[in-house]
Structure 1
C-alpha cells in the first residue's frame, strides 16, 4: 500500500552503507557524479568549500562549485562558460575521456585556499584561489582510476571569478602535447561452477555475467589493462597513469565453486523475462536452512546487479521486521485490534492504497492487508532507534555479510523526526535494502535464525545475531501465510506447498511510479523480487514469484 509521504531517496543502487558493487556505465559527459564521498551526490551548501575567518572569497568557492556541478551533470557548455576560455574548455572536457570507457566517476572537492596551487599565496595572491579535488573514475571492466587535481580561480577586473582555464586542471598530465589511451589485455575468467560442479557461463545464464566477472576478480583472475599517457603527435607512450588486473587463469587452477542451483537459476531468469515486462527488476532465491544463494537474476540481464548490490526502499515487505520489533517488545499481539483508518497524520498524511479503511482490523489483518495507517499508528510504541536495533541484532542488516561478491548490506538509520519514524515503520523514510536482504529477512522470520547468505562456500562470517523467540517466529509465519490465503499475496494461491508471503509497494519520488515488491517462502526456499516502477507488488512482482515457484516445485538438494 502507498502513502502520501514522499521523502527524497538516493538513486537506486547508489547510496547507503555499501561495499563496492555493480556499476551503470555511462559517458562522462552524461554521467559524472559530483560527490563529497564516493556515490553520494554533493549537496548545495558551503561544505568543504567553507572559508575560515580570513579565507577565500565565498564567491570564488561558489564559482568552483558551479563549475564542478555543471561538469558533473554533463552540461559542458555551461561548465566551459565559467572559465577564462570557454571554447577551448568545452573542447578539452569533451575529448578528455574519449576511448577510456569511463563511467560514473566521483569528484571529491577539497578545501579552498589562496594561491594558484595548494594554498601557495606567494604564487598567486589574494586575487587567486585554488580548490583541489580528487577524481575517481571507474574504467569499464577493469577498476577505478583515481587521481588528484584542482581548480585555479582568478578574480576578474570587472568583478566576479572565473576558473583560470588550463588542460591540467582536468588532469595534471593532460596538456596540448599529451593525452591518454586505454590499453586492454583480455584474460580468461576463472572456471566457475554451480553447486553440482557443472560450469557456469554468461552464455548459459545471462543474468550471471556480472557475478561471474566479480567472482573471477575475487579469485584474482580477470582482464588486465592500463591507462597510458601518450604524445599527441607520435603516439609514443610517455608514462603509465594506472594499471589494472592480475595474471590470468592458469590451467590446473581449482575452479571457483558457487551455491547456484541450475534449475532455480534458469527458472528465475525465465520468470523475469516474462513477468517483468521489460522493466528493471531482480529476483533472488536462497535456502532457508543455511542461506546458500540458489539464484540471482536481473533484468536487463548482464546489467547492474540489482539483486545483490541494489539499494531500495522495501515498502511494506519491511513490515516483517517492524512486526518482529513490535512482537518482541510485547507492544502488540496478532489479535489485538489496531484499526486501519483511511488516513493518519504524523507530520505528513499517510494513507492506504485506494484510500481503503478497516476500522476494526486486528494486527494480523493489518499485516495481511498491508494497512499502512495501522503500522504508522504504532510508531510511538517503539523507541527511536529500536527498529534499526532489531533489524541489525536479529536480521543482520547493516553488518558486513561477505557473501562472496561485493554486496549492499542494508541501512535502517535512527529516524530524524516523528514523520520519518512513522515512514520507517512501513519501509520508507531512509530504510534501504537489496532483494538479497529481503530474501534473507524472509528466511530469518520463518525460522527465527539469521543465516548469513553465501554465494561461495567457506567465506568468513563476521555477523553476530540473536535468534528470534520461537513464539515470535511462529507468529510471523502465521501472518505471512494469512497474507497468501486472505490478503494481498493471493496471487500465490493455488500453488503446491505451504507458502507464506508479504507484498510491498515502495514510493521512490514524486511523479515516478512506485516500485513493486513481493517476498515469499515455501519449504526450504525464500524468494524476493523487486520490479522498478511496477506500481504495486502483487501486480508486478507477484507474477514473477508465482512463475518461479511454479517452475521449480521441489526444494534444492
Structure 2
C-alpha cells in the first residue's frame, strides 16, 4: 500500500476575531532552477577522514534537482523513486511552495548506526503569497552494493516531522484589507486604477491593517487534528488601525490620466511616474501591462540620453563646460568601439546647448576626459540620491552608477548606457532635483524612514539645467510637447538594449511643480514613443497639482 501523501486539501479553520478562514487551493507551481552540480561542487574537501566526495555530490545533486523542480530526476537519486516522486510533488505543490532554496551544510556530516551517511541541509520554502518557511533537515546517503551512493528514501528527510502518522497542511486566512485612498481621501481600487492593483494589498499589509495570513500545520493523518503549528505568516490586524484607510500621496485624477496615457504605448511594455518637485510625493505610478512586475519603480533600465541631465550637472559643477561653449558633434566617435548619434546625425560647430537639445552622443562622449572615472557616479549619489537606499512605501530599485571598468564603458556611461541603471521613478526624481536643486526622497506613503544624505545643486547649475531642458522643448528633440500650456522643460532618451531588440524610448519632463518620466520598451525613439504618452498626461491634468 503506497504511503499517504504529506498533504491533503486544507480544512476550514474557525474564524478568529471575525476573520473568515479560506481554504487554500493546491496549485502545481513551476519551481525555479536550482543550478548545476558536478564533482567537487560543494564545500567538502576530500580527505582521509572526510566523507566520500561521491556521497556529497549525490546529496547536492538531489537537492539541486528538487529545488529546480526536476522531481523525476531527484527521485531517481533515491532508493525508492516512485514513493519519492509522489511525496516531493505533493509536498511542494500541495503546500504552495515555489522556488525552494535547499543548501547543504558545510560541516556536520555524520555516520548513522544504520550505515548511512547523514548530510544536514537547510530548506527555505517560499509559500506563495505568505512568506518563507525555513527549517533544518538531513539527507541520509547509503552506499549501494553495485557501487555509488543513493539517498536512502524516508519521509523524514523532506522534513524531520513528516512521518507515517503525521503530515502537513497549509491553511490560509484572509481579511478584507483596509481601504487605500489617494491624498484627498478618494478610494483607490484596482478595478478603476489597474496599475495599482498589485500594490494595494502591499500598502494595506504594511500599514498593519490586514493582508494575507496563514500557517503550515502538522496534523495527525488519522484524525486530521492539529498537532502543532510549524510556521505562521502575516500578522493580526491592529484593532486601533484596522478600520482606518491607508492614505497615499497619489492623486486619483493624475493616476487615471496616467493609466489612460499609457494607451499611447501601442501595446508595448511601458511605465510612467509623476511626482511633486517640492517634496517627492508620487502623484501617479502606472505600468502597461498593469498586472505583475512594477517596472515603474523596480525596473532596471539603461536611461539613455535622459541621463545627460546628470552628466551635464557633473560637467557644469566643475565648470568643465558652459552652455554657449562650442563642443563639436561629429557623426561618429570611436572609443574602443564606434559610437554614433541617432540616425547618424551631426552638428559641426555646435554649442553645448545644441548638443543637449539635439541629444548628441558624440559630443558628450568627447567630454569624458573632463570627469574622473568615478565622478559621474559620485555626482549621481551626492546630488541626486541615485544608488542610495530609498524607502518610499513600496519596493523599489534605487539605481546604480558603477565606476567604469575601462574607457569604453566610461564613454557609454556619459550617455546613460554601459552599466548605468535606472527606472522611471529614479528619472522623475532626477528631473525634479535638476530643476529645483534639492533631492527629496520619493514617497507613496507618509512617515517613511529617510536614510539618504545629499547636497543641493548650486543655483547657477539649476538655472543652466532648466534653460537646457526648456530649449529641448522649444527647439530640440522634445518639440512634441511644445504646444502644451506652461513652461515645460524636457529631455528625450533612446537607450540601446541589444542587437536583436529595438531601442527603448524615454522622455522626462517638468511643468510647474511636477516631474514626469516615461519609458517605452522597444519604443525606438523617446520623442516618438514616450513623447505622446507625456503629452497625453499633461493635456489631461492641471498645470499644477493641488
Aligned pair in 2 of structure 1 residues 373, 168: CA closer, same or farther (>3 Å)?
A: farther
Match of 2:89 in 1: 94
Q: Is 2:166 aligned against 1:144?
A: no
The structure having more radius of gyration, on CA atoms, is 2
Q: Is 2:384 aligned against 1:395?
A: yes
Match of 2:245 in 1: 255
Aligned pair in 2 of structure 1 residues 428, 204: CA closer, same or farther (>3 Å)?
A: same
Instruction: For residue 348 of structure 1, report the CA deviation from its aligned partner.
Output: 4.0
- Please give the residue correspondences for 1:73-88 in structure 2 after superposition, counting only pairs within 5 Å: 73-80=68-75, 86-88=81-83
Q: Is 2:103 aligned against 1:109?
A: yes
Q: Is 2:183 aligned against 1:195?
A: yes
Match of 2:363 in 1: 374
Match of 2:529 in 1: 540
Aligned pair in 2 of structure 1 residues 269, 56: CA closer, same or farther (>3 Å)?
A: farther
2:188 is paired with a residue of what secondary structure?
coil
CA distance in 2 between partners of 1:466 and 1:47 (Å): 50
CA distance in 1 between partners of 2:51 and 2:412 (Å): 42
Q: Is 2:264 aligned against 1:271?
A: no
CA distance in 2 between partners of 1:426 and 1:270 (Å): 30
**CA-atom RMSD in angstroms:** 3.5
| Counterpart contact for 1:29–1:75, Cα < 8 Å | no
| Counterpart contact for 1:402–1:459, Cα < 8 Å | yes
Match of 2:30 in 1: 30
CA distance in 1 between partners of 2:370 and 2:54 (Å): 49
- Please give the residue correspondences for 1:153-172 in structure 2 after superposition, counting only pairs within 5 Å: 168-172=156-160
Q: What is the CA deviation profile of residues 329-355 of structure 1, one whole-angstrom value per residue up to 9, with x for unaligned ones?
A: 223333334334444443444343344
Instruction: For residue 518 of structure 1, report the CA deviation from its aligned partner.
Output: 1.8
Q: What is the CA deviation profile of residues 84-142 of structure 1, one whole-angstrom value per residue up to 9, with x for unaligned ones?
A: 65555544443333244445x362635544xxxx32367799x95837344251521x3
Gapped regions of structure 1 (runs ≥ 5): 1-25, 35-41
Aligned pair in 2 of structure 1 residues 119, 462: CA closer, same or farther (>3 Å)?
A: same
- Please give the residue correspondences for 1:226-375 in structure 2 after superposition, counting only pairs within 5 Å: 226-231=215-220, 234-248=223-237, 250=239, 253-272=243-262, 274-375=263-364
Of 429, 434, 438, the residue aligned with 1:440 is 429
Between 1 and 2, higher relative CO (CA 8 Å, sep ≥ 6) is seen in 1
Match of 1:8 in 2: none
Aligned pair in 2 of structure 1 residues 88, 33: CA closer, same or farther (>3 Å)?
A: same
Structure 1 window deviating more from structure 2 (472-481 vs 43-52): it is 43-52
2:527 is paired with a residue of what secondary structure?
helix
TM-score scaled by length of structure 2:
0.82
- Please give the residue correspondences for 1:204-223 in structure 2 after superposition, counting only pairs within 5 Å: 204-223=192-211
CA distance in 1 between partners of 2:87 and 2:121 (Å): 19
Structure 1 window deviating more from structure 2 (260-269 vs 193-202): it is 193-202
CA distance in 2 between partners of 1:482 and 1:31 (Å): 52
Aligned pair in 2 of structure 1 residues 91, 347: CA closer, same or farther (>3 Å)?
A: farther
CA distance in 2 between partners of 1:393 and 1:254 (Å): 38
Gapped regions of structure 2 (runs ≥ 5): 1-25
CA distance in 2 between partners of 1:411 and 1:333 (Å): 27
Structure 1 window deviating more from structure 2 (301-310 vs 145-154): it is 145-154
